Amino acid sequence: MARIVDARAQGWTVNREAETLVLALFDREGRNLVRLARLFVDDVDAAEDLVQEAFIRLARHAHRVETARAPAYLRSIVLNLARDHNRRGLVSLRHQLAAGREIDLPDEAPARLVADEQQAAVLDAVRHLPLRQRDCVVLRYLHELGIEEISTTLGISPNSVKTHLKRALANLGEVLGEPT
């Protein structure tokens, strides 16, 4: 991911506390946020752009965000930006491949195809979950957030998070042919 632009070098007015918050969160959360965005947009460059936009929005509104809630605020922005990205109908990598593009596989790729196919099946099943269920599953199992953190990120109650997770696991079990 690209480095954060030095705001002072660009002539922007910077609140020192906001700058410190954004830089600390970039170091601590940046890679995880790109991984989160990547699950929704299927394109590394687009995922990095979404995360960059999320940090820009945080910097603009840092005076309104409690420091303790800033990571949840960032995750929420990334999820919303990813939804908007997909809603606009931007072409993803899987659609490009479906249109007939070929890719070169490295020599070790055939040995990994079985595991990759299983992972792809799980990710595809997760992508087809209803929106809230998908968000909860991704935040819980891929980003290993607790129920309270998910609740804060999505702005829903902890009991709703638990309900969405339970329904999502049932749906995944049904689609993947596994007992719940």
* CATH number for 25: 1.10.1740
Q: Do 175 and 125 meet the contact criterion of CB atoms below 8 Å apart? A: yes
pLDDT at position 18, please? 77
Most confident of 40-44, 60-64, 71-75: 71-75
Q: 134 pLDDT exceeds 50?
A: yes
Same domain, 120 and 134: yes
- E strand or H helix at 177, and its extent? none
Q: Where is the domain boundary, 87, 103, 119?
A: 103
Same domain, 26 and 48: yes
pLDDT at position 10, please? 52
Q: 160 pLDDT exceeds 90?
A: yes
Same domain, 82 and 167: no
Q: In which band, very low, low, confident or very high, does the pLDDT at 113 lie, cut at 50, 70 and 90?
A: low
Q: Among all chains, which residue has been given the structure tokens 């990710």?
A: 123
Q: Tell me the two tokens of residue 9.
A: 């070098």
Q: In which band, very low, low, confident or very high, does the pLDDT at 111 lie, cut at 50, 70 and 90?
A: very low
* CATH number for 150: 1.10.10.10
